Amino acid sequence: MVKGFIFDLDGVITDTADLHYLAWKELGDKIGIPIDPTFNQQLKGIGRMESLEKILHYGNKADVFSAAEKAQLAEEKNEQYKQLINRLTPDDILPGIPSLLLELRERQIKIGLASASKNAPAIIENLELTSFFDSIADAGSVASKPAPDIFLLAAAELVVEPGEAIGIEDAISGITAIQRAGMFAVGVGDKNVLQGADFIVPSTAELSVTTILEAWEKHKSEHV
């Protein structure tokens, strides 16, 4: 029996990829590493410091900055990002998500959030969705995806076993993290990119509690 749904944030609840890109681009311009939307795809689903390291390697400046300077750069990016996310409103929730959360509430299925973003609580508050979530796992306290830690933490906070939980992600690192946690993985996006997921829909508008549970039951019966 499924007792919990655990969501990624970016690309599943709302899309802050453009906001991350704008903040990283501003920082990149400052340190002389121009980045474009294509490169920005490599930063999807990973944490702040790992993203910074990728940018520095991309710009051949991996050894230019000290650990303290890197921490300062990451903080500068985050301050710019926080200014941008303050503009988010419920209009920025992705299609199908409000009705999905309502149905989960009606079915008394617990709802958790497993985001790489340390700003997740603020984003959920700006979207006016805080009341739906029984748990928002602290990304700063665990290893980044594709490690399973944040999904395991979310499940523990929901008091559900991993095998009783379903994770929803739009990035392959997140799908890997869900499966490493021993959960059923739902992918949102390109099936060629997310082909390792247990169930895939092209967009959040296609997410349905009934359809997901049917896919979970089928998967369970095939893997007894």
Q: What is the pLDDT of residues 142-196, one digit of tens each?
A: 888 899 999 999 999 999 999 999 999 999 999 999 999 999 999 999 999 898 8
Residue-wise pLDDT for 91-113, tens only, equals 999 999 999 999 999 999 999 99
Mean pLDDT, residues 192-221 taken together: 95
| Annotated catalytic residue within 8, 149, 170, 198 | 8
198 is catalytic: no
Between the CA atoms of 210, 6, 221 and 1, what dihedral angle is there, to the nearest 10 degrees? -80
Cα 162 to Cα 19, 138, 157, 208: the distances in Å are 32, 18, 11, 20
CB within 8 A of 13, min separation 6: which ones?
7, 93, 94, 97, 113, 123, 124, 127, 129
190 is catalytic: no
State the DSSP code for 62.
Answer: T
pLDDT at 76 over 80: yes
If one counts every other C-beta atom within 10 angstroms of the C-beta of residue 93, the result is 18
| Annotated catalytic residue within 10, 149, 170, 198 | 10
Residues 73 and 52: beta-carbon distance below 8 Å:
yes
Calpha distance 220→214 (Å, rounded) = 10
pLDDT at 197 over 80: yes
Q: Please say whether the dihedral angle defined by the alpha carbons of residues 195, 197, 201 and 204, taken in this order, is positive or negative.
A: negative
The half-sphere exposure of 166 on its side-chain side, counting CA atoms within 13 A, is 28
